[in-house]
């Protein structure tokens, strides 16, 4: 097999030669540099590389090319080489294009031209991308295939699970020819969907998430019985704790119930996170953090739900829903929060069939040209509204209050106001939902006078409130009346330490009512509900874990 390729494409011949020259000078001994002068020429080169069974490590594409611009090329190239790292070459005037590319093609980086000297502005970027490409397992030549019905809730659940765990898959409708052929080959009917076919050819009908995870290459069983640290929850706080714990030499296990990233991982674009002035998608941020944690040696388990925390002397034991358990010296609780269920007649009947909690980005292309309704007035709802406005004919944001000013960041409000196809409806709530096999109509109610009106829609996305996932800690960890975990000084009441406290000191700042158990991020009582603060608390928890372990 030939050396992996680095492909550059630019219609300006002088720039094209300069890019290839600089790249070849630094990497020509390990990589084959392929130069193209147009998007179509570059795609033909990629197809030839694909047919030969060779690999592409990095794609560098100029934005301003006729007939096919850089973003369009990268989008097409993703189908051939999804693992290849993607770089957009832009001028200062094209930063909006780079921002768009972050969401459309999961852009890894954009470079402003000129990049001289390359030793400072080009090579460090490519070094990082090539290192990430090298350490990412090679995808199978074939991908997971999913056959399902458009309005099947189990089919949506499978697709959402794969998408949120960044597992490549191909979706086939059961009533289309290829989908029907796959069903027939597996010996099942349309009534049995979803059907999942792994890259190895194994067929699974209506698989559980654990079975699905196991067969698509996700780890579900711990490699050891004992760890220095177990982190529960792989949202921003949990990922932060795993990165710092593993990088500082702790044997670290990160346990996630569903998918890395948590609620933040579903955000189409986060613009107020430090170090990303042009924004970053939640999925991209979560994937980078996951790769970073794994690179430092952290072990990641998916589809493992903690159901009990047991204290056995100095050992902390987590029990899982399947009866298995894992032990450690210390635990960081970073389970985050989940969206509250919206209570209205009919809504529960259409979950996954037109009613979705969270952004459900897999559904966005299907909303093209249609009316989309979003319930919620916080940042997650605002990010979703802006994202879906790219596809929908009109996006309606329903809020119970007078305006978004009290609950949403100003930058998002400004964006919403700048989009002509986003409309905010104050003093409005969902009163009822109806339809046949999927959501078809909503009844909306004015919270001031009770007047109702009906609207036709097949799309409702709900972002209301936050409930911590802490019922499994009942009787072990002290929580507030809303279920959030109380930590540090807040555990001291009337000068007394919490009941059952065994240490000759007060609890550390993020420490729970059980020594050696810490809480970080949204699950912690009175925490700041922001991605940056969650990551910071995850990192801070590790310094306190070290202090706790040193005192043992």
CATH number of residue 199's parent domain: 3.40.30.10
Q: What is the reported pLDDT for 139?
A: 46
Q: What is the reported pLDDT for 177?
A: 87
Query: Highest-confidence range of 40-44, 99-103, 105-109, 509-513, by mean pLDDT?
Result: 509-513
What integer is the mean pLDDT of 230-248?
97
Do 129 and 153 have their domain in common? no
- pLDDT tens-digit profile of 187-231? 899 999 999 998 877 889 999 999 999 988 899 999 999 999 999
Do 375 and 494 have their domain in common? no
* Contact between 60 and 82 (Cβ < 8 Å): no
- pLDDT tens-digit profile of 450-469? 999 999 999 999 999 778 98
DSSP state string for 366-430: GGTTSEEEEE--SHHHHHHHHHHTTTSSEEEEE-SSS-STTTS-HHHHHHHHH-TTEEEETTEEE
Distances in Å between the Cα of 140 and the Cα atoms of 168, 195, 200, 204, 476 are 10, 19, 9, 18, 44
Do 457 and 472 have their domain in common? no
Do 438 and 496 have their domain in common? no
- Res. 433: pLDDT tops 90: yes
Is residue 104 assigned to a domain?
Answer: yes
Considering the entire predicted model, what is its pTM?
0.73
Domain boundary pick from 216, 249, 276: 216
Do 113 and 165 have their domain in common? no
CATH number of residue 380's parent domain: 3.50.50.60
What integer is the mean pLDDT of 249-277?
86
DSSP state string for 267-310: -S-B-SSTT-TT-B-HHHHHHHHHHHHHHTT-EEE-S--EEEEE
Q: What is the domain extent for residue 90? A: 5-135
Do 427 and 375 have their domain in common? yes
Do 460 and 389 have their domain in common? yes
Do 448 and 387 have their domain in common? yes
Is residue 344 assigned to a domain?
Answer: no
Is residue 349 assigned to a domain?
Answer: no
Do 44 and 56 have their domain in common? yes
Is residue 345 assigned to a domain?
Answer: no
Domain boundary pick from 197, 216, 235: 216
For residues 87 and 99, what is the distance between their CA atoms, to the nearest angstrom? Answer: 12
Is residue 281 assigned to a domain?
Answer: yes
- pLDDT tens-digit profile of 363-381? 877 888 999 999 999 998 9
> pLDDT confidence of 51, banded at 50, 70, 90?
low
- Res. 431: pLDDT tops 70: yes
Is residue 156 assigned to a domain?
Answer: yes
Residues 6 or more apart whose CB falls under 8 angstroms from that of 249 comprise none
Placement of tokens 């099942």 in the chain: 188
Q: How many domains does the chain have?
A: 4
- pLDDT tens-digit profile of 492-522? 988 899 988 989 999 999 999 999 999 999 9
- Res. 102: pLDDT tops 80: no
Do 274 and 333 have their domain in common? yes
Residue among 540, 536, 483 at smallest CA distance from 511:
540
Do 512 and 403 have their domain in common? no
Is residue 153 assigned to a domain?
Answer: yes
- Res. 121: pLDDT tops 90: no
Do 428 and 472 have their domain in common? no
* Contact between 345 and 243 (Cβ < 8 Å): no
**Average pLDDT over all residues of the chain:** 89
Domain boundary pick from 402, 436, 464: 464
By the 10 Å C-beta count (0-12 exposed, 13-18 middle, 19+ buried), 224 is classed as: exposed
What integer is the mean pLDDT of 390-412?
94
Q: What is the reported pLDDT for 52?
A: 65
What integer is the mean pLDDT of 395-423?
95
């Amino acid at each position: 097999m030939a050396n992996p390729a680095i492909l550059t494409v630019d219609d300006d011949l002088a720039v094209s030669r300069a890019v290839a020259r600089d790249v070849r000078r630094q990497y020509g001994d390990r990589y084959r540099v392929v130069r193209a002068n147009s998007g179509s020429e570059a795609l033909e080169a990629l197809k030839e590389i694909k047919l030969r069974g060779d690999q592409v490590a990095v794609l560098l594409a100029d934005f301003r090319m006729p007939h096919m611009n850089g973003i369009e090329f990268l989008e097409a190239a993703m189908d051939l080489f999804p693992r290849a790292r993607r770089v957009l070459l832009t001028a200062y005037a094209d930063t909006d294009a780079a921002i768009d590319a972050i969401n459309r093609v999961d852009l890894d980086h954009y470079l402003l031209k000129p990049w001289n000297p390359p030793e400072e502005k080009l090579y460090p970027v490519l070094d990082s991308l090539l290192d990430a490409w090298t350490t990412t397992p090679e995808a199978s030549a074939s991908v997971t295939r999913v056959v399902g019905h458009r309005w099947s809730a189990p089919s949506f659940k499978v697709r959402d699970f794969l998408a949120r765990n960044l597992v490549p898959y191909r979706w086939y409708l059961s009533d289309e020819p290829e989908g029907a052929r796959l069903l027939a080959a597996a010996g099942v009917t349309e009534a049995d969907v979803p059907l999942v076919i792994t890259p190895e050819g194994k067929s699974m009908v209506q698989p559980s998430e654990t079975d699905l995870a196991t067969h698509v290459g996700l780890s579900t069983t711990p490699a050891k019985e004992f760890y220095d640290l177990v982190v529960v929850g792989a949202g921003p706080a949990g990922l932060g704790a795993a990165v710092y714990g593993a990088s500082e030499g702790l044997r670290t296990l990160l346990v996630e119930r569903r998918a890395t990233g948590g609620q933040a991982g579903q955000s189409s674009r986060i613009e107020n996170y430090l170090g990303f002035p042009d924004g970053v998608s939640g999925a991209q941020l979560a994937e980078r953090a996951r790769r970073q944690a794994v690179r430092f040696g952290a072990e990641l388990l998916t589809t493992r739900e903690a159901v009990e925390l047991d204290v056995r002397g100095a050992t902390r034991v987590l029990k899982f829903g399947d009866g298995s358990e894992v032990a450690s010296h210390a635990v960081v609780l970073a389970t985050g929060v989940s969206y509250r269920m919206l209570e209205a007649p009919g809504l529960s009947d259409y979950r996954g069939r037109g009613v979705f909690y969270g952004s459900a980005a897999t559904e966005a292309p299907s909303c093209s040209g249609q009316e989309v309704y979003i319930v919620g007035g916080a940042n997650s709802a605002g990010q979703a509204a802006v994202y879906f406005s790219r596809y929908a004919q009109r996006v309606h944001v329903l809020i119970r209050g007078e305006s978004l000013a009290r609950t949403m960041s100003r930058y998002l409000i400004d964006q919403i106001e700048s989009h002509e196809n986003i409309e905010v409806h104050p003093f409005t709530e969902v009163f009822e939902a109806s339809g046949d096999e999927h959501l078809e109509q909503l009844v909306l109610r004015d919270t001031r006078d009770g007047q109702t009106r009906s609207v036709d829609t097949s799309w409702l996305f709900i972002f209301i409130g936050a409930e911590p996932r802490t019922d499994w800690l009942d009787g072990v960890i002290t929580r507030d009346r809303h279920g959030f975990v109380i930590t540090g000084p807040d555990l001291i009441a009337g000068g007394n330490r919490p009941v059952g406290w065994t240490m000759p000191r007060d609890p550390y700042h993020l420490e729970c009512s059980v020594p050696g158990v810490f809480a970080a991020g949204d699950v912690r009582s009175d925490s700041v509900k922001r991605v940056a603060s969650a990551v910071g608390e995850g990192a801070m928890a590790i310094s306190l874990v070290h202090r706790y372990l040193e005192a043992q």
